[in-house]
Structure 1
Amino acid sequence: MTLFKFKATTHAAHTAKIGKPVSWDTMEQLIDTPGNLKVKSVTTNWAAKLSGLLNIKDAQAKAAGIKDHDESIEITTHILKRPNQDFYLIDTGVSEQLLQDPKEAGVGWMLKKYGGVDSMNAQPSTESIIANESGNLKGVFLSHIHLDHVTGLPAIPKETPIYIGKNEADAQLTLNIIAQGTNNRMLAGRPALQELPFNQDINGTLTDVVDVFGDQMFFAIPTPGHTIGHISFLARTTDGPILFTGDVSHTRWGWDHGVEPGTFLADRVASKDSLKLLRDLSNRHPNMTVKLGHQE
Protein backbone atom coordinates (compact mmCIF):
# COMPACT_ATOMS: atom_id res chain seq x y z
CA MET A 1 0.00 0.00 0.00
CA THR A 2 1.34 3.45 -0.94
CA LEU A 3 1.19 5.93 1.89
CA PHE A 4 0.22 9.54 1.27
CA LYS A 5 3.17 11.92 1.33
CA PHE A 6 3.11 15.60 2.13
CA LYS A 7 5.49 18.46 1.33
CA ALA A 8 7.54 19.97 4.13
CA THR A 9 5.62 23.20 3.52
CA THR A 10 3.32 24.74 0.93
CA HIS A 11 4.88 28.15 1.59
CA ALA A 12 6.17 29.73 -1.62
CA ALA A 13 9.80 29.17 -2.58
CA HIS A 14 11.78 31.11 -5.20
CA THR A 15 15.36 31.07 -6.44
CA ALA A 16 17.54 33.15 -4.13
CA LYS A 17 18.85 36.52 -5.22
CA ILE A 18 22.23 35.77 -3.67
CA GLY A 19 24.79 33.08 -4.41
CA LYS A 20 26.40 31.68 -7.52
CA PRO A 21 27.36 28.11 -8.42
CA VAL A 22 31.08 27.36 -8.41
CA SER A 23 33.00 24.14 -8.78
CA TRP A 24 33.89 21.93 -5.83
CA ASP A 25 37.57 22.34 -6.80
CA THR A 26 37.28 26.13 -6.57
CA MET A 27 35.99 25.84 -3.01
CA GLU A 28 38.51 23.24 -1.94
CA GLN A 29 41.51 25.18 -3.24
CA LEU A 30 40.54 28.02 -0.90
CA ILE A 31 39.63 26.07 2.21
CA ASP A 32 42.91 26.25 4.10
CA THR A 33 43.39 30.00 3.59
CA PRO A 34 41.78 31.90 6.50
CA GLY A 35 38.90 34.17 5.59
CA ASN A 36 37.15 37.15 7.14
CA LEU A 37 34.14 35.53 8.80
CA LYS A 38 33.62 34.97 12.51
CA VAL A 39 31.48 32.15 13.91
CA LYS A 40 29.92 31.56 17.30
CA SER A 41 27.85 28.46 18.08
CA VAL A 42 25.13 28.47 20.74
CA THR A 43 23.52 25.27 22.02
CA THR A 44 20.58 24.23 24.15
CA ASN A 45 20.11 20.77 25.64
CA TRP A 46 17.72 18.18 24.25
CA ALA A 47 17.39 14.39 23.94
CA ALA A 48 16.20 11.96 21.27
CA LYS A 49 16.12 8.23 20.61
CA LEU A 50 19.54 7.07 19.46
CA SER A 51 17.93 4.75 16.90
CA GLY A 52 16.77 7.85 15.06
CA LEU A 53 20.10 9.63 15.31
CA LEU A 54 22.33 6.67 14.44
CA ASN A 55 21.93 3.47 12.43
CA ILE A 56 22.30 1.07 15.36
CA LYS A 57 21.77 -1.82 12.93
CA ASP A 58 25.06 -1.01 11.21
CA ALA A 59 27.73 -3.72 11.69
CA GLN A 60 30.06 -1.32 13.51
CA ALA A 61 27.33 -0.23 15.91
CA LYS A 62 26.41 -3.84 16.61
CA ALA A 63 30.04 -4.77 17.20
CA ALA A 64 30.34 -1.88 19.66
CA GLY A 65 27.28 -3.15 21.55
CA ILE A 66 25.33 0.06 20.98
CA LYS A 67 21.69 -0.19 22.05
CA ASP A 68 18.80 2.21 21.68
CA HIS A 69 18.37 4.77 24.45
CA ASP A 70 17.55 8.41 25.01
CA GLU A 71 20.66 10.21 23.79
CA SER A 72 21.68 13.60 25.15
CA ILE A 73 22.03 16.02 22.25
CA GLU A 74 21.87 19.74 21.55
CA ILE A 75 19.88 22.07 19.37
CA THR A 76 22.35 24.51 17.89
CA THR A 77 22.31 27.81 16.07
CA HIS A 78 25.49 29.21 14.55
CA ILE A 79 26.03 32.97 14.34
CA LEU A 80 27.91 33.91 11.17
CA LYS A 81 29.35 37.42 11.34
CA ARG A 82 30.64 39.37 8.34
CA PRO A 83 33.25 42.16 8.52
CA ASN A 84 30.53 44.84 8.20
CA GLN A 85 29.06 43.47 11.48
CA ASP A 86 25.88 42.18 9.84
CA PHE A 87 25.18 38.61 10.89
CA TYR A 88 23.33 35.53 9.74
CA LEU A 89 22.08 32.44 11.55
CA ILE A 90 22.67 28.87 10.45
CA ASP A 91 19.55 27.09 11.74
CA THR A 92 17.48 28.85 14.36
CA GLY A 93 17.89 27.50 17.91
CA VAL A 94 14.83 27.51 20.18
CA SER A 95 12.46 30.44 20.67
CA GLU A 96 11.22 31.27 24.16
CA GLN A 97 7.89 32.21 22.61
CA LEU A 98 7.54 28.75 21.10
CA LEU A 99 8.01 27.03 24.45
CA GLN A 100 5.78 29.42 26.39
CA ASP A 101 2.89 29.19 23.95
CA PRO A 102 3.46 26.50 21.29
CA LYS A 103 -0.03 26.87 19.85
CA GLU A 104 0.34 30.62 19.37
CA ALA A 105 3.78 30.05 17.82
CA GLY A 106 2.19 27.69 15.30
CA VAL A 107 3.03 24.25 16.69
CA GLY A 108 0.16 21.81 16.17
CA TRP A 109 -0.89 19.57 19.05
CA MET A 110 0.27 16.36 17.36
CA LEU A 111 3.76 17.71 16.74
CA LYS A 112 3.91 19.12 20.25
CA LYS A 113 2.98 15.73 21.68
CA TYR A 114 5.19 13.56 19.50
CA GLY A 115 7.92 15.97 18.36
CA GLY A 116 9.69 16.43 21.69
CA VAL A 117 8.74 20.10 22.16
CA ASP A 118 8.00 19.54 25.86
CA SER A 119 11.59 18.42 26.47
CA MET A 120 13.18 21.40 24.71
CA ASN A 121 14.61 24.39 26.55
CA ALA A 122 15.47 27.89 25.40
CA GLN A 123 18.53 28.68 27.49
CA PRO A 124 19.73 30.72 25.73
CA SER A 125 16.75 31.54 23.55
CA THR A 126 16.85 32.69 19.95
CA GLU A 127 15.42 36.01 21.15
CA SER A 128 18.40 36.56 23.45
CA ILE A 129 20.90 35.43 20.81
CA ILE A 130 19.63 38.06 18.38
CA ALA A 131 19.38 40.77 21.04
CA ASN A 132 22.96 40.22 22.22
CA GLU A 133 24.52 40.58 18.77
CA SER A 134 25.66 43.89 17.36
CA GLY A 135 24.74 44.61 13.76
CA ASN A 136 21.67 43.50 11.86
CA LEU A 137 20.30 40.01 11.28
CA LYS A 138 20.38 39.76 7.49
CA GLY A 139 19.19 36.21 6.93
CA VAL A 140 18.77 32.63 8.13
CA PHE A 141 20.30 29.60 6.43
CA LEU A 142 18.36 26.41 7.13
CA SER A 143 20.19 23.13 6.69
CA HIS A 144 16.73 21.63 6.26
CA ILE A 145 13.12 22.05 7.32
CA HIS A 146 12.69 19.88 10.43
CA LEU A 147 11.11 21.03 13.67
CA ASP A 148 14.33 21.11 15.70
CA HIS A 149 15.93 23.37 13.08
CA VAL A 150 13.04 25.84 12.77
CA THR A 151 12.05 26.11 16.45
CA GLY A 152 13.63 29.57 16.60
CA LEU A 153 11.52 30.99 13.78
CA PRO A 154 8.99 32.75 16.06
CA ALA A 155 11.88 34.96 17.22
CA ILE A 156 13.03 35.81 13.69
CA PRO A 157 11.65 39.10 12.29
CA LYS A 158 9.08 38.41 9.60
CA GLU A 159 10.96 40.26 6.87
CA THR A 160 14.19 38.26 7.33
CA PRO A 161 15.11 36.17 4.27
CA ILE A 162 15.22 32.41 4.88
CA TYR A 163 17.53 30.40 2.62
CA ILE A 164 17.08 26.69 1.91
CA GLY A 165 18.35 23.94 -0.38
CA LYS A 166 16.89 23.24 -3.78
CA ASN A 167 13.51 21.45 -3.59
CA GLU A 168 13.68 21.32 0.23
CA ALA A 169 10.23 22.88 0.61
CA ASP A 170 8.77 20.33 -1.83
CA ALA A 171 10.44 17.31 -0.22
CA GLN A 172 7.69 14.79 0.47
CA LEU A 173 7.50 12.48 3.47
CA THR A 174 4.64 10.71 5.17
CA LEU A 175 5.68 12.30 8.49
CA ASN A 176 4.99 15.72 7.03
CA ILE A 177 1.32 14.98 7.59
CA ILE A 178 1.88 16.31 11.13
CA ALA A 179 4.72 18.74 10.35
CA GLN A 180 3.43 20.61 7.31
CA GLY A 181 0.79 22.59 9.20
CA THR A 182 3.30 23.70 11.83
CA ASN A 183 5.85 24.71 9.17
CA ASN A 184 3.19 26.64 7.26
CA ARG A 185 2.03 28.52 10.36
CA MET A 186 5.57 29.46 11.39
CA LEU A 187 6.30 30.70 7.87
CA ALA A 188 3.01 32.57 7.47
CA GLY A 189 3.44 36.25 6.65
CA ARG A 190 7.06 35.81 5.59
CA PRO A 191 8.57 36.32 2.14
CA ALA A 192 8.99 33.33 -0.13
CA LEU A 193 11.70 30.90 0.95
CA GLN A 194 14.93 31.50 -0.98
CA GLU A 195 16.36 28.40 -2.70
CA LEU A 196 20.11 28.67 -3.16
CA PRO A 197 20.94 28.38 -6.89
CA PHE A 198 22.63 25.00 -7.22
CA ASN A 199 23.38 23.66 -10.68
CA GLN A 200 21.86 20.33 -11.64
CA ASP A 201 22.49 17.90 -14.46
CA ILE A 202 19.95 16.43 -16.86
CA ASN A 203 19.09 13.75 -14.30
CA GLY A 204 18.25 16.35 -11.67
CA THR A 205 21.35 15.59 -9.59
CA LEU A 206 22.79 18.70 -7.96
CA THR A 207 26.33 19.54 -9.00
CA ASP A 208 28.92 22.03 -7.75
CA VAL A 209 28.49 24.17 -4.63
CA VAL A 210 27.18 27.70 -4.11
CA ASP A 211 29.40 30.66 -3.24
CA VAL A 212 26.73 32.25 -1.06
CA PHE A 213 28.00 35.83 -0.72
CA GLY A 214 29.98 35.86 -3.97
CA ASP A 215 33.25 36.54 -2.14
CA GLN A 216 34.47 32.94 -1.71
CA MET A 217 34.05 33.06 2.07
CA PHE A 218 30.91 30.97 2.64
CA PHE A 219 29.81 27.95 0.63
CA ALA A 220 26.65 25.84 0.59
CA ILE A 221 27.14 22.15 -0.21
CA PRO A 222 24.28 19.89 -1.40
CA THR A 223 24.12 16.90 0.96
CA PRO A 224 20.83 15.05 0.35
CA GLY A 225 19.76 12.04 2.36
CA HIS A 226 18.44 13.26 5.68
CA THR A 227 16.05 15.30 3.55
CA ILE A 228 16.06 15.68 -0.21
CA GLY A 229 17.16 19.32 -0.12
CA HIS A 230 19.49 19.12 2.86
CA ILE A 231 22.53 21.41 2.66
CA SER A 232 25.75 21.68 4.64
CA PHE A 233 27.95 24.75 4.84
CA LEU A 234 31.62 25.64 4.85
CA ALA A 235 32.89 28.97 6.21
CA ARG A 236 36.35 30.47 5.81
CA THR A 237 36.80 32.19 9.15
CA THR A 238 39.58 34.20 10.75
CA ASP A 239 40.38 31.03 12.74
CA GLY A 240 40.39 28.70 9.75
CA PRO A 241 37.76 26.63 7.91
CA ILE A 242 34.60 25.42 9.67
CA LEU A 243 32.33 22.72 8.24
CA PHE A 244 28.69 22.65 9.37
CA THR A 245 27.40 19.17 8.61
CA GLY A 246 23.79 19.71 9.62
CA ASP A 247 22.07 16.37 10.10
CA VAL A 248 24.30 14.51 7.67
CA SER A 249 25.71 13.39 11.02
CA HIS A 250 23.81 13.93 14.25
CA THR A 251 26.32 12.32 16.60
CA ARG A 252 30.04 12.28 17.30
CA TRP A 253 30.15 8.46 17.23
CA GLY A 254 28.43 8.37 13.85
CA TRP A 255 30.88 10.87 12.40
CA ASP A 256 33.96 9.16 13.82
CA HIS A 257 32.88 5.76 12.52
CA GLY A 258 31.23 6.80 9.26
CA VAL A 259 27.78 5.53 10.27
CA GLU A 260 24.78 7.42 8.94
CA PRO A 261 21.67 8.43 10.91
CA GLY A 262 19.09 5.82 11.84
CA THR A 263 15.39 6.27 11.18
CA PHE A 264 15.64 10.06 10.90
CA LEU A 265 16.33 10.21 7.17
CA ALA A 266 14.59 10.17 3.82
CA ASP A 267 17.09 8.20 1.70
CA ARG A 268 19.67 5.89 3.29
CA VAL A 269 21.91 5.49 0.24
CA ALA A 270 22.08 9.25 -0.33
CA SER A 271 22.65 9.77 3.39
CA LYS A 272 25.65 7.43 3.36
CA ASP A 273 27.03 9.14 0.26
CA SER A 274 26.72 12.60 1.80
CA LEU A 275 28.40 11.47 5.03
CA LYS A 276 31.30 9.98 3.07
CA LEU A 277 31.58 13.16 1.00
CA LEU A 278 31.97 15.36 4.08
CA ARG A 279 34.25 12.96 5.98
CA ASP A 280 36.55 12.71 2.96
CA LEU A 281 36.62 16.51 2.76
CA SER A 282 37.51 16.72 6.44
CA ASN A 283 40.25 14.12 6.07
CA ARG A 284 41.81 16.09 3.23
CA HIS A 285 41.80 19.22 5.39
CA PRO A 286 42.70 18.06 8.92
CA ASN A 287 42.83 21.60 10.31
CA MET A 288 39.14 22.11 9.52
CA THR A 289 36.77 22.40 12.49
CA VAL A 290 33.69 20.19 12.12
CA LYS A 291 30.35 21.24 13.65
CA LEU A 292 27.98 18.26 13.76
CA GLY A 293 24.20 18.42 13.73
CA HIS A 294 23.52 17.70 17.38
CA GLN A 295 26.72 16.86 19.23
CA GLU A 296 30.12 18.48 19.57
Structure 2
Amino acid sequence: MSRILVTGAAGFLGSHLCESLLEEGHEVIGMDNRVSGQAANLDNILYHERFTYHDHDVTKFIHVDGNLDVVLHLASLASPVFYREHSIKTLKVGALGTHKTLGLAKKKDATYLFTSTSEVYGDPEVNPQPEDYRGNVDPYGPRSCYDESKRYGESLVRAYRDEHDLDVRVARIFNTYGSRMRLDDGRVIPNFMKQALTGQDLTVYGDGSQTRSFCYVDDMIDGLLALLESDIETPVNLGNPDERSIQELAEVVIDVTGSDSGITHESLPPQDPEVRQPDITKARSELNWKPDIQLRDGLQQSMGFFEQKI
Protein backbone atom coordinates (compact mmCIF):
# COMPACT_ATOMS: atom_id res chain seq x y z
CA MET A 1 0.00 0.00 0.00
CA SER A 2 1.27 3.44 -0.95
CA ARG A 3 0.44 6.79 0.64
CA ILE A 4 -0.56 9.14 -2.17
CA LEU A 5 -1.37 12.85 -2.41
CA VAL A 6 -3.76 13.87 -5.20
CA THR A 7 -4.15 17.58 -5.91
CA GLY A 8 -7.28 18.59 -7.78
CA ALA A 9 -9.01 15.74 -5.96
CA ALA A 10 -12.51 17.25 -6.21
CA GLY A 11 -12.23 17.72 -9.95
CA PHE A 12 -13.50 15.58 -12.80
CA LEU A 13 -10.37 13.47 -13.27
CA GLY A 14 -9.04 13.83 -9.74
CA SER A 15 -12.11 12.34 -8.07
CA HIS A 16 -12.13 9.34 -10.41
CA LEU A 17 -8.43 8.81 -9.81
CA CYS A 18 -8.87 8.95 -6.02
CA GLU A 19 -11.54 6.24 -6.23
CA SER A 20 -9.36 3.99 -8.36
CA LEU A 21 -6.39 4.38 -6.00
CA LEU A 22 -8.57 3.49 -3.01
CA GLU A 23 -9.88 0.44 -4.87
CA GLU A 24 -6.26 -0.64 -5.37
CA GLY A 25 -5.75 -0.49 -1.60
CA HIS A 26 -3.77 2.75 -1.27
CA GLU A 27 -4.12 5.50 1.31
CA VAL A 28 -5.16 8.71 -0.45
CA ILE A 29 -4.86 12.32 0.67
CA GLY A 30 -7.06 14.54 -1.49
CA MET A 31 -6.39 18.26 -1.82
CA ASP A 32 -8.49 20.90 -3.59
CA ASN A 33 -9.69 24.47 -3.08
CA ARG A 34 -12.82 23.90 -5.21
CA VAL A 35 -12.38 26.84 -7.57
CA SER A 36 -13.56 24.48 -10.31
CA GLY A 37 -13.75 21.18 -8.40
CA GLN A 38 -16.95 20.18 -6.62
CA ALA A 39 -17.27 18.60 -3.19
CA ALA A 40 -20.06 16.34 -4.45
CA ASN A 41 -17.52 14.55 -6.65
CA LEU A 42 -16.04 13.07 -3.46
CA ASP A 43 -19.32 11.90 -1.92
CA ASN A 44 -18.54 8.24 -2.60
CA ILE A 45 -15.22 8.31 -0.75
CA LEU A 46 -15.32 11.22 1.70
CA TYR A 47 -15.73 8.93 4.71
CA HIS A 48 -13.56 6.10 3.43
CA GLU A 49 -11.16 4.92 6.13
CA ARG A 50 -8.15 5.38 3.84
CA PHE A 51 -9.12 8.80 2.48
CA THR A 52 -8.55 12.24 3.98
CA TYR A 53 -9.41 15.57 2.41
CA HIS A 54 -7.68 18.93 2.77
CA ASP A 55 -9.26 22.16 1.50
CA HIS A 56 -6.11 23.93 0.40
CA ASP A 57 -4.74 26.13 -2.38
CA VAL A 58 -1.71 24.39 -3.90
CA THR A 59 -0.08 27.72 -4.74
CA LYS A 60 0.47 28.15 -0.99
CA PHE A 61 2.94 26.21 1.16
CA ILE A 62 1.89 22.55 1.42
CA HIS A 63 2.44 20.55 4.59
CA VAL A 64 1.59 16.86 4.81
CA ASP A 65 2.40 14.90 7.97
CA GLY A 66 4.19 11.59 7.67
CA ASN A 67 5.62 9.85 4.66
CA LEU A 68 4.42 10.16 1.08
CA ASP A 69 5.18 7.67 -1.66
CA VAL A 70 3.54 9.51 -4.57
CA VAL A 71 2.44 13.05 -5.43
CA LEU A 72 -0.09 13.33 -8.27
CA HIS A 73 -0.49 16.95 -9.36
CA LEU A 74 -3.84 17.23 -11.16
CA ALA A 75 -4.87 20.66 -9.84
CA SER A 76 -5.61 22.92 -12.78
CA LEU A 77 -8.28 25.15 -14.29
CA ALA A 78 -8.65 23.07 -17.43
CA SER A 79 -11.92 24.36 -18.87
CA PRO A 80 -12.06 27.40 -21.17
CA VAL A 81 -14.72 29.10 -19.06
CA PHE A 82 -12.65 28.88 -15.88
CA TYR A 83 -9.19 29.58 -17.24
CA ARG A 84 -10.42 32.66 -19.09
CA GLU A 85 -12.16 33.96 -15.97
CA HIS A 86 -9.21 33.09 -13.72
CA SER A 87 -6.23 33.50 -16.03
CA ILE A 88 -3.77 34.61 -13.32
CA LYS A 89 -4.85 31.82 -10.99
CA THR A 90 -4.43 29.36 -13.87
CA LEU A 91 -0.86 30.51 -14.39
CA LYS A 92 -0.15 30.41 -10.66
CA VAL A 93 -1.40 26.81 -10.33
CA GLY A 94 0.82 25.77 -13.24
CA ALA A 95 3.84 27.64 -11.87
CA LEU A 96 3.60 28.02 -8.08
CA GLY A 97 1.40 24.96 -7.59
CA THR A 98 3.78 22.77 -9.57
CA HIS A 99 6.75 24.24 -7.69
CA LYS A 100 5.14 23.62 -4.28
CA THR A 101 4.15 20.05 -5.10
CA LEU A 102 7.55 19.26 -6.61
CA GLY A 103 9.19 20.60 -3.47
CA LEU A 104 6.97 18.38 -1.37
CA ALA A 105 7.81 15.33 -3.50
CA LYS A 106 11.53 16.14 -3.16
CA LYS A 107 11.23 16.47 0.62
CA LYS A 108 9.32 13.18 0.92
CA ASP A 109 11.41 11.35 -1.71
CA ALA A 110 8.16 10.59 -3.55
CA THR A 111 7.41 9.77 -7.17
CA TYR A 112 5.84 12.77 -8.89
CA LEU A 113 3.26 12.71 -11.70
CA PHE A 114 2.32 15.91 -13.53
CA THR A 115 -0.80 16.03 -15.66
CA SER A 116 0.01 18.14 -18.68
CA THR A 117 -2.20 18.57 -21.73
CA SER A 118 -2.48 18.29 -25.48
CA GLU A 119 -2.70 22.10 -25.40
CA VAL A 120 1.11 22.17 -25.25
CA TYR A 121 0.90 21.40 -28.99
CA GLY A 122 -1.23 24.52 -29.58
CA ASP A 123 -2.82 24.66 -33.05
CA PRO A 124 -0.77 21.79 -34.44
CA GLU A 125 0.67 21.68 -37.93
CA VAL A 126 1.37 17.96 -37.50
CA ASN A 127 -1.47 15.45 -37.16
CA PRO A 128 -1.54 13.20 -35.20
CA GLN A 129 0.77 14.75 -32.61
CA PRO A 130 3.70 12.66 -31.30
CA GLU A 131 5.51 13.57 -28.11
CA ASP A 132 8.51 14.95 -30.00
CA TYR A 133 6.38 17.52 -31.84
CA ARG A 134 7.27 20.92 -30.39
CA GLY A 135 3.94 22.54 -31.07
CA ASN A 136 2.53 25.72 -32.58
CA VAL A 137 1.62 27.87 -29.60
CA ASP A 138 1.01 31.60 -29.24
CA PRO A 139 2.46 32.63 -25.83
CA TYR A 140 0.38 35.84 -25.90
CA GLY A 141 -2.86 34.44 -27.29
CA PRO A 142 -6.33 34.05 -25.74
CA ARG A 143 -5.58 30.48 -24.61
CA SER A 144 -2.03 31.17 -23.50
CA CYS A 145 -2.66 31.24 -19.74
CA TYR A 146 -3.54 27.54 -19.83
CA ASP A 147 -1.15 26.43 -22.59
CA GLU A 148 1.85 28.19 -21.11
CA SER A 149 1.08 27.13 -17.54
CA LYS A 150 1.38 23.52 -18.64
CA ARG A 151 4.44 24.08 -20.83
CA TYR A 152 6.16 25.81 -17.91
CA GLY A 153 5.05 23.02 -15.58
CA GLU A 154 6.63 20.40 -17.82
CA SER A 155 9.88 22.37 -17.87
CA LEU A 156 9.87 22.64 -14.08
CA VAL A 157 9.31 18.89 -13.74
CA ARG A 158 12.25 18.29 -16.08
CA ALA A 159 14.42 20.62 -14.00
CA TYR A 160 13.60 18.78 -10.75
CA ARG A 161 14.35 15.48 -12.46
CA ASP A 162 17.74 16.71 -13.69
CA GLU A 163 18.85 18.75 -10.65
CA HIS A 164 17.38 16.68 -7.81
CA ASP A 165 17.12 13.22 -9.39
CA LEU A 166 13.38 13.25 -8.68
CA ASP A 167 11.40 10.30 -10.05
CA VAL A 168 8.89 11.99 -12.38
CA ARG A 169 6.11 11.21 -14.85
CA VAL A 170 4.43 13.58 -17.33
CA ALA A 171 1.05 12.75 -18.88
CA ARG A 172 -0.09 14.82 -21.86
CA ILE A 173 -3.83 14.37 -21.58
CA PHE A 174 -6.06 14.80 -24.63
CA ASN A 175 -9.81 15.53 -24.54
CA THR A 176 -11.47 13.37 -21.90
CA TYR A 177 -15.14 13.05 -20.97
CA GLY A 178 -17.50 11.23 -18.63
CA SER A 179 -19.40 11.61 -15.38
CA ARG A 180 -18.58 14.52 -13.03
CA MET A 181 -17.86 17.00 -15.78
CA ARG A 182 -19.39 20.38 -15.00
CA LEU A 183 -22.24 21.42 -17.27
CA ASP A 184 -21.01 25.01 -17.15
CA ASP A 185 -17.35 24.49 -17.94
CA GLY A 186 -17.58 25.26 -21.65
CA ARG A 187 -16.22 21.99 -22.99
CA VAL A 188 -17.92 20.53 -26.01
CA ILE A 189 -19.37 17.26 -24.69
CA PRO A 190 -21.09 18.77 -21.62
CA ASN A 191 -22.38 21.57 -23.86
CA PHE A 192 -23.76 19.16 -26.43
CA MET A 193 -25.24 16.76 -23.86
CA LYS A 194 -27.00 19.58 -22.03
CA GLN A 195 -28.41 21.02 -25.23
CA ALA A 196 -29.52 17.65 -26.61
CA LEU A 197 -31.15 16.54 -23.36
CA THR A 198 -33.08 19.81 -23.03
CA GLY A 199 -34.21 19.93 -26.65
CA GLN A 200 -32.05 22.91 -27.62
CA ASP A 201 -30.17 23.08 -30.90
CA LEU A 202 -26.54 22.06 -30.52
CA THR A 203 -24.13 24.96 -31.05
CA VAL A 204 -21.25 24.16 -33.39
CA TYR A 205 -18.61 26.84 -33.81
CA GLY A 206 -17.40 27.43 -37.34
CA ASP A 207 -18.36 24.89 -39.98
CA GLY A 208 -17.72 21.98 -37.61
CA SER A 209 -14.83 20.57 -39.62
CA GLN A 210 -12.34 21.07 -36.77
CA THR A 211 -11.44 17.78 -35.13
CA ARG A 212 -10.93 16.43 -31.63
CA SER A 213 -10.28 12.97 -30.18
CA PHE A 214 -12.32 11.99 -27.13
CA CYS A 215 -11.21 9.53 -24.46
CA TYR A 216 -13.64 8.08 -21.91
CA VAL A 217 -12.67 8.78 -18.31
CA ASP A 218 -12.23 5.13 -17.29
CA ASP A 219 -9.68 4.62 -20.07
CA MET A 220 -7.85 7.79 -19.06
CA ILE A 221 -7.60 6.70 -15.42
CA ASP A 222 -6.19 3.34 -16.53
CA GLY A 223 -3.63 5.23 -18.63
CA LEU A 224 -2.57 7.45 -15.74
CA LEU A 225 -2.13 4.45 -13.45
CA ALA A 226 -0.13 2.61 -16.09
CA LEU A 227 2.14 5.62 -16.49
CA LEU A 228 2.57 5.95 -12.73
CA GLU A 229 3.58 2.31 -12.45
CA SER A 230 6.09 2.62 -15.29
CA ASP A 231 9.60 4.06 -15.18
CA ILE A 232 9.11 6.53 -18.06
CA GLU A 233 10.37 9.97 -17.07
CA THR A 234 9.56 11.72 -20.37
CA PRO A 235 6.13 12.97 -21.57
CA VAL A 236 3.58 10.42 -22.75
CA ASN A 237 0.44 11.17 -24.76
CA LEU A 238 -2.74 9.75 -23.23
CA GLY A 239 -5.89 9.95 -25.29
CA ASN A 240 -8.08 8.20 -27.81
CA PRO A 241 -6.79 8.44 -31.40
CA ASP A 242 -10.35 8.14 -32.77
CA GLU A 243 -10.48 11.57 -34.44
CA ARG A 244 -13.92 13.09 -35.06
CA SER A 245 -15.09 16.37 -36.52
CA ILE A 246 -17.16 18.51 -34.16
CA GLN A 247 -20.04 18.31 -36.64
CA GLU A 248 -19.88 14.51 -36.46
CA LEU A 249 -19.74 14.61 -32.67
CA ALA A 250 -22.90 16.72 -32.59
CA GLU A 251 -24.69 14.19 -34.79
CA VAL A 252 -23.56 11.27 -32.59
CA VAL A 253 -24.75 13.06 -29.41
CA ILE A 254 -28.17 13.74 -30.96
CA ASP A 255 -28.44 10.09 -31.97
CA VAL A 256 -27.29 8.68 -28.62
CA THR A 257 -29.65 10.89 -26.62
CA GLY A 258 -32.59 10.35 -28.99
CA SER A 259 -32.98 14.12 -29.15
CA ASP A 260 -34.97 16.12 -31.68
CA SER A 261 -32.42 18.91 -31.47
CA GLY A 262 -31.00 20.49 -34.57
CA ILE A 263 -27.56 21.98 -35.12
CA THR A 264 -26.78 25.68 -35.37
CA HIS A 265 -23.49 27.32 -36.30
CA GLU A 266 -21.79 30.32 -34.70
CA SER A 267 -18.48 32.06 -35.29
CA LEU A 268 -15.36 30.12 -34.43
CA PRO A 269 -13.49 31.46 -31.35
CA PRO A 270 -10.06 32.94 -32.08
CA GLN A 271 -7.18 30.47 -32.28
CA ASP A 272 -9.39 27.43 -31.89
CA PRO A 273 -7.19 24.48 -32.99
CA GLU A 274 -8.15 22.97 -36.33
CA VAL A 275 -7.08 19.44 -35.42
CA ARG A 276 -6.28 17.45 -32.30
CA GLN A 277 -5.35 13.76 -32.34
CA PRO A 278 -2.86 11.91 -30.13
CA ASP A 279 -0.18 9.65 -31.49
CA ILE A 280 -0.21 7.00 -28.75
CA THR A 281 2.54 4.80 -30.18
CA LYS A 282 4.64 5.41 -27.07
CA ALA A 283 1.80 4.57 -24.66
CA ARG A 284 1.00 1.40 -26.60
CA SER A 285 4.59 0.16 -26.71
CA GLU A 286 5.91 1.30 -23.33
CA LEU A 287 2.79 1.22 -21.14
CA ASN A 288 0.90 -1.52 -22.97
CA TRP A 289 -2.06 0.87 -22.82
CA LYS A 290 -4.71 1.89 -25.30
CA PRO A 291 -8.28 3.10 -24.84
CA ASP A 292 -10.98 0.45 -25.16
CA ILE A 293 -14.27 2.36 -24.91
CA GLN A 294 -15.71 3.66 -28.16
CA LEU A 295 -17.21 7.15 -28.36
CA ARG A 296 -20.81 6.04 -28.69
CA ASP A 297 -20.49 3.62 -25.76
CA GLY A 298 -18.83 6.23 -23.56
CA LEU A 299 -21.54 8.78 -24.32
CA GLN A 300 -24.22 6.24 -23.47
CA GLN A 301 -22.49 5.46 -20.16
CA SER A 302 -22.25 9.19 -19.39
CA MET A 303 -25.82 10.10 -20.31
CA GLY A 304 -27.37 9.16 -16.96
CA PHE A 305 -25.04 11.53 -15.14
CA PHE A 306 -25.87 14.44 -17.42
CA GLU A 307 -29.60 13.70 -17.19
CA GLN A 308 -29.36 13.78 -13.40
CA LYS A 309 -27.55 17.14 -13.44
CA ILE A 310 -30.05 18.92 -15.68
Q: TM > 0.5 between the two?
A: no
More helix by share: 2
Question: Structure 2 length normalisation: TM-score?
Answer: 0.31
More strand by share: 1
